[in-house]
């Protein structure tokens, strides 16, 4: 009897048509396919997974933008972010960590993502990094009553892993909307991830820090942006604290200039 043989392409097309978009083992393929064929299959599946991720990220991003367009106040935005289901980080997080501080502040500080303490308590920068940040702010006469503090991501990445680009892309509208509602004159970015996301650059934090940039808010006016090292990095690398201190002094003198 003639054995009917389907080509690899036909097998994969058939799987996709019947709704199979995930594999949980490779035993059958290993037994029946050559190494070259296995590589072809895995490459097709990887491309399919990448396409699926891009589609999911694109629709979650659209959904985040729609939510942001509807929110008029920080409280409305907070409620909408808490109800948002488009970022898988939320599934492993204990709390949504929205912004904290003065909603009418002239300065907004932006970190990367909540850590374990922030996830437990639901407030940004309350752990060791937050304690250092509070001291840094106090050194130039600022505190949480004079600033607003938030993160690019409102949910803790499991084990504090580095956020994925797709996670940052989906959540960025939430940060931008907070900035639009608060309408600050200054934005102080804490660390490379935050600076890269808001300034839309891949430049290292060592190159970005200490220089002023402009960020255009939705009302057409600009906020002045300064980036510096993340407090967690300063805890690990105290030798860099003097550069962070220079950045704080730069920020402080601009704030004073604006008041006069």
CB of 171 to ligand URA, least distance (A): 13
Residue 146 CA: distances (Å) to CA of 76, 172, 186, 253: 22, 24, 12, 16
**Closest-CA residue to 93 (of 102, 82, 105):** 82
CB of 135 to ligand URA, least distance (A): 15
Separation between Cα atoms, residue 144 and residue 137, nearest integer Å: 9
Strand partners, 214: 224
Burial 2-31 (b: 16+ CB within 10 A, else e): eeeeeeeeebbeebeeeeeeeeeeeeeeee
115 is an interface residue for ligand URA by CB under 6 A: yes
113 is an interface residue for ligand URA by CB under 6 A: yes
Measured from the CB atom, is 111 or 173 closer to ligand URA?
Answer: 111
125 is an interface residue for ligand URA by CB under 6 A: yes
Task: Pick the piece of the chain touching ligand URA (CB under 6 A) from 106-114, 140-148, 180-188, 214-222.
Answer: 106-114
Measured from the CB atom, is 58 or 238 closer to ligand URA?
Answer: 238
Measured from the CB atom, is 125 or 188 closer to ligand URA?
Answer: 125
Residue 57 CA: distances (Å) to CA of 51, 148, 175, 197: 10, 28, 17, 16
**Rg of the chain (C-alpha set):** 23
157 is an interface residue for ligand URA by CB under 6 A: no
Candidates 57, 68, 71, 118: give the one binding ligand URA (CB under 6 A): 118
Measured from the CB atom, is 110 or 251 closer to ligand URA?
Answer: 110
Beta-carbon contacts of residue 171 (< 8 Å; ≥ 6 apart): 64, 87, 152, 153, 154
172 is an interface residue for ligand URA by CB under 6 A: no
| DSSP 8-state code for residue 122 | T
Beta strand ranges found along the chain (DSSP E): 100-101, 107-111, 147-151, 186-190, 212-216, 222-228
First to last CA, the chain: 93
154 is an interface residue for ligand URA by CB under 6 A: no
Task: Pick the piece of the chain touching ligand URA (CB under 6 A) from 81-89, 114-122, 164-172, 242-250.
Answer: 114-122
Separation between Cα atoms, residue 180 and residue 83, nearest integer Å: 20
Q: Determine the size of the site formed for ligand URA (CB under 6 A).
A: 13
**Closest-CA residue to 173 (of 100, 95, 66):** 66
Candidates 67, 89, 112, 171: give the one binding ligand URA (CB under 6 A): 112
CB of 234 to ligand URA, least distance (A): 12
* x/- map, 209-248, ligand URA, by CB under 6 A: -----------------------x----------------
Task: Pick the piece of the chain touching ligand URA (CB under 6 A) from 20-28, 40-48, 112-120, 213-221.
Answer: 112-120
Residues that bind ligand URA (CB under 6 A): 111-115, 118, 124-125, 127, 129-130, 151, 232
């Amino acid at each position: 009897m003639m054995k009917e043989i389907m080509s690899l392409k036909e097998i994969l097309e058939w799987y996709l048509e019947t709704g199979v978009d995930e594999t949980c083992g490779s035993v059958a393929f290993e037994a029946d396919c050559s190494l070259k064929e296995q590589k072809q299959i895995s490459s097709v599946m990887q491309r399919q997974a990448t396409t699926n991720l891009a589609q999911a990220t694109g629709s979650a991003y659209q959904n985040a933008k729609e939510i942001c367009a509807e929110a008029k106040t920080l409280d409305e935005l907070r409620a909408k972010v808490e109800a948002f289901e488009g970022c898988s980080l939320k599934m492993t997080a204990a709390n949504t960590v929205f912004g904290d501080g003065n909603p009418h502040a002239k300065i907004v500080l932006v970190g990367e993502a909540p850590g374990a303490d922030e996830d437990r308590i639901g407030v940004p920068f309350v752990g060791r990094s937050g304690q250092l940040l509070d001291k840094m702010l106090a050194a130039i006469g600022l505190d949480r009553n004079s600033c607003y503090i938030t993160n690019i991501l409102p949910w803790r990445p499991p084990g504090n892993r580095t956020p994925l680009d797709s996670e940052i892309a989906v959540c960025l509208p939430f940060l931008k909307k907070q900035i639009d509602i608060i309408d600050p004159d200054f934005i102080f970015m804490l660390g490379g991830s935050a600076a890269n996301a808001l300034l839309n650059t891949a430049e290292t934090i060592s190159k970005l820090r200490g220089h002023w940039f402009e960020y255009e808010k939705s009302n057409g006016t600009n906020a002045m942006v300064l980036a510096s090292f993340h407090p967690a990095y300063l805890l690990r690398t105290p030798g860099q604290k003097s550069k962070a201190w220079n950045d704080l002094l730069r920020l402080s003198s601009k704030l004073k200039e604006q008041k006069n």
